[in-house]
Structure 1
Amino acid sequence: MPTASPPQRALPRTILLATDLSSRCDRAQDRAILLAKGWAARLCILHVMPVEEPADLPSWRRDRSGAAARAEQQIRADLEGCGTECDVMLARGEAAETILAQAEAMDAGLLVTGVARDDMLGRATLGAIVDRLVSHAPMPVLVVKGRPRGAYGEILVATDFSESSRQALQAALHLFPAARITLFHAFQVPFEGFISRDANMQEMRDQAAAELDDFLRHVQGPADWRDRVTPLLEYGQAGALICDYVQARGIPLVVIGTQGRSGLASFLVGSTAKRLLAALPCDTMTLRQHG
């Protein structure tokens, strides 16, 4: 019998945006502001500075209080005209641990951040800090890559029919009540190098369809949730298919649980998860399973 899903919580009352003040975090800030307005939530912006500055800094960079003042000034300048009240917080410490501690202390319902940039290759990467946030935050983590152009109208939720992916679907239904959702499952024929793929394809599709029906029976959502969810069963490798579907359809957000049962489990945990989250061109929201 499946584990009982937790009851739906109210919309987040507090959103924490973690920023390194780089241009990549501007998009995360714009998205966090949109969400805060839509949910009537408090928005807190946190910038973590290193405990110790490098010893070889020029003289004008050695004033710690001055560095903090400049950081706050930049954040407030970026917020000018945003139309919502924001709390600005500065801290010193190890970035990921400080962000996680602050998010839990304020009972944040959502943690928002941008992606790092590989200065040598000139491309966006997840980075060690974002990877740790995704792996350890008890609340949903939204990693923003795209330029916000309004509310999320279409969302892809990846499922392996596990309880974790069920909670991911329920969260998407709850947090984004106007969005259309594609529930995506990829299946493969086991040992297809040794048995006929074509001969077993329909059997595996039928099995996936039966599992899908059972999965949907245990979803807890608003009264109209079935009208908003379109299941999609597809043969192939899940990570590659999801990336291709997102690019082909222009999906702005993918929601995934970070604990899988099978199939998706191989890339929702460990190094393959990092590759998927880095490869997706859109925003991603990850959720750790509760209960």
Structure 2
Amino acid sequence: MKILVATDLSPRSDRAIARGYALAQQQKAEMSILYVVDADLPAELRTHSIEWARAALAKEAETQAARTGVKATLEVLAGHAKTDIARHAAAIKADLILLGIHNEAAQPTRRSFAATTAGQIVKSTRLPILLVKNEAAQPYGQVVIGVDFSVYSRAALREAMKLAGSAQYHLVHAYHVPFKGFLGSAETATEVALDQRLAFDAFLEDEMDLMEKRGRDGGIAPERLNKILREGEPHRLLPEECARLSADLLVIGTHGRTGMSAAIWGSVATDILNQPPTDVLVVKAY
């Protein structure tokens, strides 16, 4: 695995760097840290910014290497973060991009996530992106994965297992009873809910072979899988389950070609990322 951490050297980006080193240590992965200096700055200021960034990255890398034993490649480029981070990730053949979640994406009165630099990067690449909110105090232990029985859900589950092999996994499917007010009886509503449960169990049965294989290869037991079926809206229920389970990672799938605009539940991913409940792994199926 090759990990790219994109930083702006803010405190929130420091959390992404720390998580990147932790993952590189756990996965025995290669790691690269990238800082993009605004190419539109005046030449003298741009040169000064590049020198300052190189010194700051070198200092941080020295501290983290002493703690983890991981040696990262450091890159400082002049360009535009919204486009050049994804380009650099492709150039070095990265498998995962890490970004810090900034205040502007976490405050409802600020810009929506889709309008932020992080949102633009998510839209512009097909790579999984880990958006880091929390301190990297320990490996991921409680992982909530939003599922809707689609190929996007399967991709999300597989990427989650790569990132958090020894965690407890909570597969959460939020459903609604169509035309509930017109069904006429509680019995009919119960039948619809049962259909949802059967579909959910069929999905899990398909994935169980993969879970068992990864269990044999990487020590992940099928008993670490917990399935949760709740009636309601995904953008509300997923954060609720994260809070209830003290989850340190939420995994959501999106459409590979159009990014945030075609999330597995329409605008659910965008709604969640406007106010992320914890670290979020955004995965595209293709």
With normalisation by structure 2, the TM-score equals: 0.85
Counterpart of 2:3? Answer: 15
Per the alignment, residue 84 of structure 2 pairs with 98
Contact 2:23 2:163 in 1 (8 A): no
- Does residue 1:218 correspond to 2:241, yes or no? no
Query: AA paired with 2:74?
Result: V
Report how far residue 96 of structure 1 moved.
2.0
* In the alignment, structure 1 residue 80 sits paired with structure 2 residue 62: yes
Pair 1:111-2:106 in alignment: no
Q: Which residue of 1 aligns with 2:49?
A: 67
Paired residues for 1:243-262 under 5 Å: 243-259=239-255
1:239 paired with 2:235, answer yes
> Percent identity between the aligned chains?
28
- Which piece of structure 1 moves more, 170-179 or 140-149? 170-179
Specify the code of the residue in structure 2 equivalent to 1:118: E
Could you tell me how far apart the structure 2 residues matched to 1:75 and 1:123 are?
A: 29
Does residue 275 (structure 1) correspond to residue 271 (structure 2)? The answer is yes
Q: Which moved more, 1:215-224 or 1:30-39?
A: 215-224
Which amino acid in structure 2 is aligned with residue 114 of structure 1?
G
What one-letter code is carried by the residue in structure 1 that aligns with 2:191? E
- 1:118-175 Cα deviation digits (max 9, x unpaired): 39x6979735221122223222100000111110011011000101101211222233
- How far off is 1:82 after superposition? 1.2
Alignment match of 2:151 (pick from 127, 147, 163): 163
Aligned to 2:218: none
Bigger mean CA offset, 178-187 vs 274-283: 274-283
Aligned residues: 267
* Uncovered stretches (5+) of structure 2, i.e. residues with no partner: 216-220
Secondary structure, aligned partner of 2:116: helix
- The correspondence of residues 42-53 of structure 1 with structure 2, limited to 5 A, is 42-53=30-41
Judging changes above 3 Å, is the alpha-carbon distance between structure 1 residues 124 and 249 closer, same or farther for their aligned structure 2 residues? farther
Unaligned runs of 5+ in 1: 1-11, 55-60
How far 1:198 moved relative to its partner?
A: 3.3
Q: Which one is further off, 220-229 or 64-73?
A: 220-229
Q: CA deviation at 1:193?
A: 3.5
Distance, in Å, in 2 between the alignment partners of 1:197 and 1:108 is 53
CA-based RMSD: 2.5
Whether the 8 Å contact between 2:253 and 2:263 is mirrored in structure 1 is no
What's the TM-score, normalizing by structure 1? 0.84
Q: Secondary structure at the match of 1:221?
A: helix
Looking at secondary structure, tell me which structure has more helix per residue: 2
